[in-house]
Structure 1
């Protein structure tokens, strides 16, 4: 009985901790109609930008060639990662949780491809992973043509990126509660200034479509493929 009581207390504390973490990241806020930027956006941007910087420095120092994928471009886009995620979040109105899911998917993709997150791959990987996450967990989302316009690629390329992405992940898009919590904690550590090497730092390792809602754009953005 005592053990059961301890387990229940531990469980309650864990739920409370999760609730506080999710609230701090802004995951309880709805993306649609919400003018505030969730904290998870800035933290994810920071982690990705730092990972890109570390990976590119490591690859340059080692003079190693990175794995080239369909997501790679000829040159790095002029738009920063932070600006790009803000643009996607603004125009897609995806839920904040989609950003965490996209973070998980990107990590899985890079591990399976044994590739590094660099400025040549990050933008296409972001728009694809966020779109896939929105289709998987949001009640409704925009179609590929809309996301292509938001991301600065053609609809044909968006379709190809999505299919390649899904096949690499073996169409396994489910994320357990434990994994979701783990990635949220990584984001929280970013906020606390604890810079751990996460899986997205690959250079340090060996070796459903929704309707187009007809939104208008105040900015335009595009980048060339490889």
Structure 2
């Protein structure tokens, strides 16, 4: 995810509604927009980091979160999968975003296609444990994430020690990250408009992922 250039101003309540973190009245929000915005930010960060590593001919620092090869499941589909099967609150994805930032700030690791999936499943699981009243255990999250329970247990402990167990997130920091994600939506729209004007279409796979099959390459 990289370190965010955060604004000093607090997020307005409208931002929480636009991200799908807070519903208006009793309206069902469905799939919250924060998922696609976070996916876009992650994909852009991964692409930028891998380009820089390739141009500089350097290798990233290898950690427990690195796989031998990039998973076939895309970042957006992986995040959608976690949301679908974990049932965690949308706010957990923002908190997980903050946790991963803290992890990256405490190390020389770059977010790449080799580590982003493991960092996601680990940080979201930890966020759910810290934020939600009810949550699934590690074995369930491991099945959703496509890794073994033993591996997820190791990843969780490594992650927690790496961020010095700093799980508390202030309202101010949470709001600032939400503001950054809303800006991501505006930037994505600016890019999408000229593409639509040129009538450029892109093909995406619609392969069903309704079963908890393995998604991360060992």
TM range (shorter): 0.7 to 0.9
> In structure 2, how many angstroms separate the alpha carbons of the residues matched to 1:35 and 1:18?
18
In the alignment, what sits opposite 1:8?
none
**Residue 18 of structure 2: which of 24, 45, 49 is its match?**
24
Secondary structure, aligned partner of 1:75 = coil
- Within a 5 Å distance, the mapping from 1:143-222 to structure 2 comes to 143-193=137-187, 218-222=211-215
Indicate whether 1:68 and 2:77 are aligned. no
Whose radius of gyration is greater, 1 or 2? 1
Aligned with 2:97 (options 69, 94, 103): 103
CA-based RMSD of the aligned residues comes to 1.8
Whole-Å Cα distance in 1 between the matches of residues 188 and 43 of structure 2?
A: 15
RCO higher in structure (CA 8 A, sep ≥6): 2
Q: Structure 1 stretches (4+) deviating beyond 3 angstroms?
A: none
Q: 1:42 aligned to 13, 36, 39, which one?
A: 36
Separation (CA, whole Å) in 2 of partners of 1:169 and 1:25: 26
TM superposition shift of 1:25: 0.3
Q: TM-score, normalised by structure 2?
A: 0.81
Once the two structures are superposed, residues 27-58 of structure 1 have per-residue CA deviations (whole angstroms, 9 ceiling, x without a partner) of 015xxxx6811000000000000000000001
Tell me which residue corresponds to 2:192: none
1:224 aligns with 2:179: no
CA distance 1:20–1:35, change in 2 (3 Å): closer
| Aligned equivalents of 1:96, 1:73: Cα separation in 2 | 27
Gaps of 5+ in 2: 1-8, 190-209
Once the 2 structures are TM-superposed, how far is the Cα of residue 218 of structure 1 from its aligned partner? 2.7
Look up the match of 1:204.
none
Q: 1:123 maps to which residue?
A: 117
Aligned mates of 2:91, 2:162 — CA distance in 1:
22
Between the aligned partners of 2:216 and 2:14, the Cα distance in structure 1 is 39
Structure 1: segments with no counterpart, 5+ residues: 1-13, 196-216
Size of the alignment, in residue pairs? 186
* Cα distance per residue 1:106-157 (max 9 Å; x no partner): 1110111121000000000000000000000001100000000000000000
